[in-house]
Copies of this chain bind each other. A is one copy, B any other.
């Protein structure tokens, strides 16, 4: 479906699929064909009539064709990791079931090079008015998860929207954006949960307050364990929390990714083979800039038998990950950023 391969499909209506570990491990840039997809509705048709409207608290409302957008504004490239708030939910479900939510493993994340115009440049054209504090995005996809159905949407603070790394992207990894990834135009908000990188973008609304639509006001929020989804309940998700996972492990090597989120970066990754009593520093691989994860590797020399690996990443504030999933369980299954663990059976050499 949608030309995808090397993915684990979590649903077909709407289509949802995560990248397999081996495809994530293949390199720091994730192949577009294997890049995860988190949809809340059917992939909309992007006809030739597509327009981008910019309205709300602006001096000059805009109504632009893609051709105008591409001709009027300079083009930029940003390499950025996207990560769904539900990445690694399977670890929370293992603690206690989360009915109605897909058991995403470590592949609801990926890194691509995005090409497009700066949102900041579009905002400059429109001219935010006094009171502007947030920038909302609305996609063309209609989600039946909201009652009545709503277009997917969300907002980010104006301060972030004006930063140079936030793009309105029409290309991904050097190819025109594919329909399943948001063609003809999507937002890319580096450092924020994937839900803010709204696909099939057809409206930008400059606002005084955060987006009140279902997917920001009810869905993508961290509830306390005993909480229930409701308008404004729990804390809104936005910045990605420091996270990591293990992508492959053998007797001689362990590899994985780590991502700091927000404006932070990964400073260190530690690996333990004795349950966290002692740690070895992993080697951080390719540095793709401030908005991308780091792949890492550590050599191992494990004797035959069963081993449990534990990994912890550190960010540029010298903060590290919480120990385990038990204390992180929440009713929607978001932000599992516990230290990843893997059990490894090393066979006897014969």
Q: A237 near B318 (CB under 8 angstroms)?
A: yes
Q: Which residues of B contact A319 (CB under 8 A)?
A: 241-242, 319, 322, 335, 337
Q: Interface code A294-331, partner B: CB below 8 Å = 1, 0 otherwise?
A: 00000000000000000010101111111110011000
Q: B318 near A224 (CB under 8 angstroms)?
A: no
Q: Which residues of B contact A238 (CB under 8 A)?
A: 316-317
Q: How far is the CA of A240 from the CA of B316 in the complex (A)?
A: 9
Q: B235 near A314 (CB under 8 angstroms)?
A: yes
Closest to A321 in B: B322
Q: B240 near A317 (CB under 8 angstroms)?
A: yes
User: Contacts A222-B318, A239-B316 given: A264-B262 contact, CB under 8 Å?
Assistant: yes
A268 within 8 A of B: yes
Q: How far is the CA of A248 from the CA of B44 in the complex (A)?
A: 56
Q: Which residues of B contact A321 (CB under 8 A)?
A: 322
Q: Interface code A183-197, partner B: CB below 8 Å = 1, 0 otherwise?
A: 000000000000000
Q: A276 near B327 (CB under 8 angstroms)?
A: yes
Q: How far is the CA of A262 from the CA of B241 in the complex (A)?
A: 14
Closest to A268 in B: B235
Q: Which residues of B contact A320 (CB under 8 A)?
A: 322, 327-328
Which residues of A in the span 54-112 have a Cβ within 8 Å of any Cβ on B? Answer: none
Q: Which residues of B contact A237 (CB under 8 A)?
A: 318
Which residues of A in the span 319-350 have a Cβ within 8 Å of any Cβ on B? Answer: 319-324, 327-328, 334-335, 337
CB distance from A259 to the nearest CB of B (A): 11
Q: Which residues of B contact A267 (CB under 8 A)?
A: 235
Q: B322 near A334 (CB under 8 angstroms)?
A: no
A144 within 8 A of B: no
Nearest 8 A-B pairs (CB), nearest first? A239-B317, A241-B319, A241-B317, A318-B335, A323-B323, A235-B267, A222-B318, A241-B318
Q: Which residues of A contact B (CB under 8 A)?
A: 222, 224-225, 235, 237-242, 261-264, 267-268, 270, 276, 278-279, 281, 312, 314, 316-324, 327-328, 334-335, 337
Given contacts A235-B267, A241-B319, list 13 more A-B pairs with CB under 8 A. A222-B314, A224-B270, A224-B281, A225-B278, A235-B314, A239-B264, A242-B317, A262-B262, A319-B322, A320-B322, A321-B322, A323-B323, A323-B327
**Could you pull out 16 A-B pairs where Cβ atoms are within 8 angstroms?**
A222-B314, A225-B278, A235-B267, A239-B264, A239-B316, A239-B317, A240-B317, A242-B319, A276-B327, A312-B327, A318-B334, A319-B319, A319-B322, A320-B322, A322-B322, A323-B324
